[in-house]
Amino acid sequence: MAGSGVGLRSERGPVLLALMVSMALVALDSTVLATAVPSIVENLGGFASFPWLFSVYLLAQAVTVPVYAKLSDTLGRKPVILAGISIFMAGSILAGFAWSMPVLIACRVVQGLGAGAIQPATTTIAGDIYSVEERAKAQGYLSGVWAVAAVLGPAIGGLFSQFVSWRWIFFINVPVCLVAMVLIVHSYHEKVERRRVRIDYPGTVLLATGMSLIILAVLEGGQAWAWDSPLSIGGFALGAACLGAFVLVERRTANPVLPLWVLSRRLLLSTTLVSLGVGAVLIGLSSYVPTFLEGSIGTVPLLAGLAVAAQSIGWPIASSFSGRLYMRHGFRNTAVLGMSIIVLGALALVITSERPNVAVVAACCLVIGAGLGFASTPAIVAAQSSVGWGERGVVTGSNMLARAVGSSVGVAIFGAVANTIVANSEAANSGAPNLGMAGSGAAATGPATIIASAHGVFLAVLVCAILGLIAAAAMPRKVLVVTD
């Protein structure tokens, strides 16, 4: 699509606005629900089941990304993103009318099925309509949506829950979905030579089943059941078997849902591993920084949320400037710079965590956010730029999938670290509280234990950042840019 400049006032501004509104659906849904959980539990009951509101959404989103990505390369981006928004809207309407916790959890699955199309499709479309030089600024705009959502989401959820009803955190999605669909229909036009699609049903089923079992085992291991329980071992074993069968099927399929060449090319493999690390670092900050500040020094939830939101401010700013760096110094060097900044920010967080301070934690999150912008943008742009239109959806989807898997695995690793430290610190106290993703029981745990567990989690985040730095360093120095 021709045009000059990047911004809402440029020729492609209406398309960029459509992408931002679409991305806002996923971004807000990731932040608005947390503050409404107490009201939901009070109304529907099922306190023990509420973590599934987050788990099933993340699971449904992750396992459908490769399928939607493949469809976008065959049917086009427009029908895929419109279908995703429609499914997400249907799930939101159903969730607003939910009458029990199991029903609400099922509605969250529907929302996740829609979100699995929205986020990779918006990123892919941005890669289609902007040049290599312009993509960093475009990604900066899309990242800015997450920054706004990080600040407004918890506040919106709290306001609806307190003054109206928690159900409106889902109903409010309906007009946003309609606006996004209207903008996309009227502003985004693509020329697609649609070909007859032969859907890889065996590969799709095996991939979705295998990933579902493994991610579910990772998410719930040590939480809903013990790591060495038959459920946990069986989930990992059966999931691994499905993925092994998936690889065998894909080798013989003419039109695979996730081509194996995505992981056989050095550039694509290394950028995928960078995204894996980015996902882990993100979940480590967003899940444990608020619990750390609230439980250690009694910081109010709003202020604790703003501290972690600082990373969402640094991200879009750095992302916008990363284009100048990777055009001058290369994708690899820019990604290495970004991961190095993340390592420094995580190291500072580890060192200062023994003496909690809101301003210091916010500064560390800001630095890490800047590193995320400098690392993730050149990684995704390099991957997109190395392939043509017909492969860009799959490449973008695999990158988004890696970030989701990184978050899922990160939740389990960080939860295991926190819970082990808590158990050791309070060995004399039976029924030690669980500091999983939701941070439940933080208020009942002593400040010293909270500080020790958070210190361990931040140390694990530092390790993930170092592994991400190694992945960035493994990127090839030169990237052959493919023009459509």
**84 has a pLDDT exceeding 90:** yes
Higher pLDDT, 462 or 400: 462
Query: Do 401 and 380 touch, CB atoms closer than 8 A?
Result: no
Burial class (CB in 10 A: 0-12, 13-18, 19+), 6: buried
Query: Do 203 and 256 touch, CB atoms closer than 8 A?
Result: yes
Query: Do 66 and 398 touch, CB atoms closer than 8 A?
Result: yes
pLDDT digits (tens, 9 = 90+) for 396-451: 888 888 888 888 778 778 877 877 787 777 664 555 445 444 444 444 467 888 88
Please report the pLDDT score of residue 244 as a whole number.
Answer: 92
Tokens at 165, concatenated: 């009803």
How far is residue 420's CA from residue 434's CA, in Å, rounded to a whole number?
Answer: 10
Higher pLDDT, 29 or 461: 461
**351 has a pLDDT exceeding 90:** yes
Mean per-residue pLDDT, 473-484: 79
Mean per-residue pLDDT, 278-299: 82
Higher pLDDT, 443 or 269: 269
Residue in the block written with tokens 């999150």: 365
How far is residue 67's CA from residue 446's CA, in Å, rounded to a whole number?
Answer: 46
What would the DSSP string read from start to end of 406-419?
A: HHHHHHHHHHHHHH
Higher pLDDT, 360 or 251: 360
Please report the pLDDT score of residue 438 as a whole number.
Answer: 42
* pTM higher than 0.85: no
Higher pLDDT, 161 or 28: 28
% pLDDT > 90, the chain: 23
Q: Tell me the three state secondary structure of residue 1.
A: coil
Mean per-residue pLDDT, 236-257: 88
Please report the pLDDT score of residue 428 as a whole number.
Answer: 46
How far is residue 188's CA from residue 69's CA, in Å, rounded to a whole number?
Answer: 18
Please report the pLDDT score of residue 284 as a whole number.
Answer: 82
Please report the pLDDT score of residue 4 as a whole number.
Answer: 54
Mean per-residue pLDDT, 381-395: 83
Please report the pLDDT score of residue 1 as a whole number.
Answer: 45
**CA distance readout (Å), 288 to 435, 454, 455:** 9, 7, 10
